[in-house]
């Protein structure tokens, strides 16, 4: 029975110890000081490779500004309800700037609440309807899709079949990357497009789909995947397939946030990827500017993409030290 | 040594009964110590944690998981478990949003969604009762197919464009969001049903020993179906509040919420084997978890470190419960 008391003491001790430990939210907050203004970041999730790199670069940028403000970040596991709670809790701490990468438009009310309370709101990547935010920073998926389509059509010299492996239905990124590419393909009458399955941006799903597709024996000259993970999956299926096209087809993805992808481009397995720019560092920069009294003049900041091929792969790796593994 | 042992023995049941409360008080003491300083004149003890804004925040976040946990308690008390709660919440969230967007009135939509939730709960309960399959298996199947239905129903897309038909659930009344009041009322009704009605006593009887209950003339199947129907009703209430909070419908909504509900019940002193526990304990358990989440954010503890601590706390809660109850 003494165990009972022991357990209770242990619980108390653990809670106290747990909270006393210095395992702080973000590297930047480890040296948090009470008199500095607070900048908070409600991240959608911290799980997929793009977000991992996004987090790493955001923290690196915040570290540069640690003499100016304290920076805290909380992910929400892609659950909008959780993100609403995170933002609401952040607001209790009276932050000076709120950065949000919305899970969905469902967080709109909560973001507007912050904006109405005169807290500058910086939206990263995904946006919300209306105009109750200070600035939105992100890439332009339609333009990236257009460039990817153009690249593939040129590589195929305007003639051939493109298999498009699609991202999660209903998600803007997938729709934009498809529509942008279709715009470009339409300019080349020799290009035929096969609209492949919705592989949910997942490597495994794309691999399974590609395995089945190769079984059909339909000819194709290029694979355009809405993200790199699916391009990798499709390539892996191709690599291990018994029956495949005589000439290696092109494999083109989007995101450019993983070392693995750049390595595969260097090895000639994948042919190209288009960087989907991560808005974190720019967001932190804008937050620092706002604290200095310079409100952003534009409502929208579009970050440029980078085409990564065998030629510039090494330089790309050197330029982007925080790529996910 | 002897007196100590004896005194602990006498304290243990009390601690077990109120373990959620003990944890909550400990947490609040720690929060007093650790949470950031606030200059808000309304803040108790100059702590950000003890402000009206944070109270509103806590109750706003508590409503959905709290009501789900109340429903789960009924099922767990009968010795069952419901893994489909999160999926059903997602489906009902989509249905609520779709109907409201297509112009249905708020009262009608809410009424029908409550009926639908209760019905789905009753169907799950019936399948379990009459097929004699494990609740775990049946509700696991429910979790998978109801989630599938939600994606088919919405054609795999979020439903947005909801106006302010039901956002009043989020607005405060006497300083507390209406959703929070609904949680209080649900908890109160749940407590009365369990402690003051024949059905309530039968729930404990079925969970304690269903064979004995059957021989004592308790309609075991009907009690199980009733518990699942109440659970379904609670899920529907939570789904309406979820829709109000998120202002849209998401087929992926509520993923993993069934486990949060079970966690709240367990932390609140409800035994997974059934027969022990009550909704007041669950309320405190859910409150403890939400308070802990918020404390971790306010104290800028990393999300993943926080998750680790939550696991430790659940384990300790269950361990504490089992002490002295081992057969």
Distance from CA of B158 to the nearest CA of A (A): 7
User: Which residues in chain A have their CB less than 8 angstroms from residue B48's CB?
Assistant: 92-93
Asked if B314 is an interface residue toward chain A (Cβ–Cβ < 8 A), one would say no
Domains, chain A, in order of start with CATH, read 28-139+278-294 (3.40.50.2300), 141-275 (3.40.50.2300)
Do B53 and A1 lie within an 8 Å CB cutoff? no
Q: How far is CA A32 from CA A217, A309, B31, B264, B309, in A?
A: 60, 41, 18, 33, 22
Backbone torsions φ then ψ of B138, nearest 5 degrees: -65, -45
Which of B201 and A104 is assigned the larger pLDDT?
B201
Say which of A34, A84, A92 has its CB closest to residue B51.
Answer: A92
Domains, chain B, with CATH or none: 59-321 (1.10.3470)
B83-92, B108-117, B296-305: segment of lowest average pLDDT: B296-305
pLDDT on residue B325:
62
Mean pLDDT for all residues in chain A: 88
- Name which of B5, B23, B242 is nearest A1 (Cβ-Cβ): B5
Whether A94 and A36 have beta carbons less than 8 Å apart is answered as no
Indicate the residue of B26, B242, B316 with minimum beta-carbon distance to A81: B242
B22 versus A262: which is more confidently predicted?
A: A262
Mean pLDDT of A4-9: 51
> What pLDDT is recorded for position A9?
56
Please tell me the distance from the alpha carbon of residue B169 to that of residue B183, in angstroms, as a whole number. 11
pLDDT per residue as tens digits for the range A215-270: 888 999 999 999 999 999 999 999 998 878 888 999 999 999 999 999 999 999 99
- What is the average pLDDT across A295-301? 92
> What would the mean pLDDT of B211-220 be, rounded to a whole number?
93
Q: What pTM value is reported for the model? A: 0.84
Q: Which residues of B touch A69 (CB under 8 A)?
A: none
Is A188 within 8 Å of A214 (Cβ atoms)? no
A90-94, B171-175, B222-226 — most confident range: B222-226
Q: Best residue in A3, A4, A75, A102 to probe B by mutation, most B CBs within 10 Å?
A: A4
Q: In the A/B pair of chains, how many CB contacts fall below 8 A?
A: 139
Chain A interface includes B139 (CB < 8 A) = no
The per-residue pLDDT for range A158-202, each reduced to its tens digit, is 999 999 999 987 778 899 999 999 999 999 999 999 999 989 889
pLDDT band at B18 (very low <50, low <70, confident <90, very high): confident
Which chain A residues contact residue B297 at CB under 8 A?
A: 74, 86, 89-90
pLDDT at B108 exceeding the cut of 90: yes
Residue A223: its pLDDT value, please?
A: 97
Q: Is the pLDDT of residue B31 over 70?
A: yes
CA distance A4 to chain B (A): 7
* Candidates A5, A7, A104; nearest CB to B250: A104
- The C-alpha of A106 sits at a distance from chain B's nearest C-alpha, in angstroms, of 5
Predicted confidence (pLDDT) at residue B207 exceeds the cutoff of 60: yes
Please list every residue in chain A whose beta carbon sits closer than 8 Å to the beta carbon of residue B245.
81, 84
ipTM of the shown complex: 0.87
What would the pLDDT profile of B271-302 be if each residue is shown by its tens digit?
888 998 999 999 999 999 999 999 989 888 88
Of B293, B265, B112, nearest in space to B187 by CA = B265
For residue B34, which residues of chain A lie inside 8 Å, CB to CB? 19-20
Q: Residues B169-174: what's their mean pLDDT?
A: 89
CA-to-CA dists, residue A16 to A11, B23, B27, B252, B308, angstroms:
9, 12, 9, 36, 15
The better pLDDT of the pair A48, A259 is held by A259
Say if CB A220 and CB A161 are below 8 A apart. Answer: yes
């Amino acid at each position: 029975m003494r165990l009972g008391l022991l357990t209770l003491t242990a619980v108390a001790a653990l809670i106290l110890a747990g909270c006393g430990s210095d395992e702080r939210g973000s590297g930047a907050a480890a040296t948090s000081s009470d008199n500095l203004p607070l900048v908070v970041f409600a991240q959608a999730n911290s799980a997929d490779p793009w977000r991992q790199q996004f987090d790493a670069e955001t923290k690196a940028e915040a570290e540069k500004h640690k003499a100016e403000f304290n920076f805290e970040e909380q992910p929400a596991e892609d659950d909008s309800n959780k993100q609403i709670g995170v933002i609401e809790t952040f607001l209790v701490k009276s932050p000076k700037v709120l950065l949000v990468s919305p899970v969905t438009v469902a967080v709109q009310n909560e973001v507007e609440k912050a904006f109405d309370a005169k807290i500058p709101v910086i939206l990263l990547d995904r946006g919300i309807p209306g105009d109750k935010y200070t600035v939105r920073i992100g890439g332009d998926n339609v333009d990236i899709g257009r460039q990817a389509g153009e690249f593939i059509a040129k590589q195929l010299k305007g003639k051939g079949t493109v298999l498009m492996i699609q991202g999660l239905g209903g998600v803007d990124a997938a729709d934009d990357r498809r529509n942008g590419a279709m715009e470009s393909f339409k300019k080349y009458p020799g290009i035929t497009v096969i609209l492949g399955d919705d592989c949910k941006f997942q490597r495994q799903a794309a691999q399974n789909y590609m395995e089945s597709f190769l079984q059909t024996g339909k000819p194709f000259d290029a694979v355009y995947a809405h993200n790199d993970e699916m391009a990798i999956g499709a390539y892996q299926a191709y690599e291990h397939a018994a029956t495949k096209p005589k000439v290696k087809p092109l494999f083109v993805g989007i995101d450019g946030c993983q070392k693995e992808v750049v390595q595969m481009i260097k090895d000639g397995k994948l042919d190209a990827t288009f960087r989907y720019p991560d808005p974190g560092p720019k967001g932190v920069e804008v937050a620092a500017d706002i604290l200095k009294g310079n409100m952003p003049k534009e409502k929208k900041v579009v970050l440029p993409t980078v085409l990564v091929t065998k030629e510039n792969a090494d330089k790309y790796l050197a330029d982007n030290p925080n790529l996910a593994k | 040594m002897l007196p100590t042992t004896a005194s602990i023995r006498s304290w243990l049941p009390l601690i077990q009964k109120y373990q959620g409360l003990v944890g909550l008080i400990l947490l609040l003491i720690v929060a007093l110590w650790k949470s950031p300083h606030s200059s808000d004149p309304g803040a108790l003890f100059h702590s950000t944690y003890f402000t009206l804004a944070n109270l509103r925040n806590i109750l706003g976040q508590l409503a959905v998981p709290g009501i789900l946990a109340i429903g789960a308690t009924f099922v767990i008390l009968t010795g069952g478990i419901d893994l489909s709660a999160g999926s059903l919440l997602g489906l009902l969230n989509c249905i609520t949003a779709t109907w409201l967007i297509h112009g249905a009135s708020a009262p009608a939509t809410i009424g029908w969604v409550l009926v639908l939730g209760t019905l789905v709960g009753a169907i799950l309960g019936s399948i379990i009762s009459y097929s004699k399959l494990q609740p775990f298996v049946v509700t696991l199947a429910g979790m998978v197919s109801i989630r599938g239905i939600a994606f088919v129903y919405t054609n795999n897309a979020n439903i947005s464009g909801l106006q302010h038909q039901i956002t009043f659930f989020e607005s405060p009344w006497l300083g507390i969001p209406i959703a929070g009041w609904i949680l209080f009322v649900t908890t109160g009704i749940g407590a009365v049903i369990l402690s003051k009605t024949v059905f309530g006593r039968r729930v404990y009887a079925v969970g304690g020993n269903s064979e004995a209950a059957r021989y004592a003339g308790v309609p075991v199947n009907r009690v199980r179906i009733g518990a699942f129907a109440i659970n379904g009703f609670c899920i529907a209430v939570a789904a309406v509040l979820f829709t109000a909070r998120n202002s849209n419908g998401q087929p992926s909504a509520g993923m993993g919420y069934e486990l949060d509900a079970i966690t709240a019940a367990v932390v609140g002193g409800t035994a997974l084997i059934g027969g022990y526990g009550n909704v007041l304990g669950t309320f405190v358990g859910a409150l403890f978890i939400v308070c802990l989440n918020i404390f971790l954010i306010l104290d800028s503890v990393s999300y993943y470190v926080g998750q680790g601590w939550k696991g430790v706390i659940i384990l300790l809660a269950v361990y504490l419960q089992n002490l002295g109850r081992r057969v």
